């Protein structure tokens, strides 16, 4: 009986140990609470992939040194709902990036929005919201979600 109790405790502890990182994955505690803006950033790679698309870009810091940054976005399916596609960003594009930088000081963070050279603004779903509430997220959002006010054919 005692060995079954010990085994149950070990298995329960293991399950909690594995579950913690899964729950923490979508937390925002790793990012600053204010948006950092990077002007004249040059896209080096746009990875349109699950579970999160990534924007890699180079930008000069205050001393003029080029720093390579990575911005995490939502999944491709979530981004499609608000107007993104796999060719929204191309290597060489010069953009402005607004993102929540990592608290660790590493050159990485969570995207808020991107402003393209022509002035087009592409928001992120989780932290940046979306202009026009097309994503289906939030109480007044549309996006063809039941109960939503939007129309996906827009």
Q: How many domains does the chain have?
A: 1
- Residue 7 belongs to some domain of the structure: no
Question: What pTM value is reported for the model?
Answer: 0.68
- Residue 53 belongs to some domain of the structure: yes
Q: Using one digit for the tens of pLDDT, what is the confidence trace for 91-147?
A: 999 999 999 999 999 999 999 999 999 999 999 975 555 444 444 444 444 444 333
pLDDT at 130: 46
- CATH code of 105's domain: 2.40.50
- Residue 10 belongs to some domain of the structure: no
Torsion of CA 110, 54, 145, 143, to 10 degrees: 90
- Residue 24 belongs to some domain of the structure: no
- Residue 154 belongs to some domain of the structure: no
Evaluate whether 97 touches 38 at the Cβ level (below 8 Å): yes
Tokens of 91: 């290597």
Confidence of residue 89 (pLDDT cuts 50, 70, 90): very high
Tokens of 132: 């026009």
78: containing domain: 36-123
DSSP 79: H
Q: Residues 6 or more apart from 110 whose CB is under 8 A from it?
A: 28, 31, 71, 72, 73, 99, 100, 124, 126, 127
């Amino acid at each position: 009986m005692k060995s079954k109790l010990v085994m149950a405790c070990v298995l329960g502890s293991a399950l909690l140990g594995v579950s913690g990182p899964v729950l923490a994955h979508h937390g925002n505690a790793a990012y600053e609470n204010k948006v950092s803006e990077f002007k004249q950033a040059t896209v080096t790679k746009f990875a349109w992939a699950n579970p999160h698309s990534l924007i890699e870009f180079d930008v000069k810091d205050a001393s003029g040194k080029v720093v390579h940054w990575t911005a995490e976005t939502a999944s491709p399916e979530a981004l499609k709902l608000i107007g993104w596609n796999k060719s929204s960003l191309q290597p060489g594009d010069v953009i402005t990036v607004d993102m929540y930088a990592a608290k660790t000081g590493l050159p990485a963070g969570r995207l808020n929005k991107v402003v393209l050279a022509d002035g087009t603004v592409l928001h992120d779903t989780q932290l940046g919201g979306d202009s026009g509430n097309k994503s289906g997220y939030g109480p007044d959002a549309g996006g063809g979600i039941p109960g939503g006010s939007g129309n996906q054919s827009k």
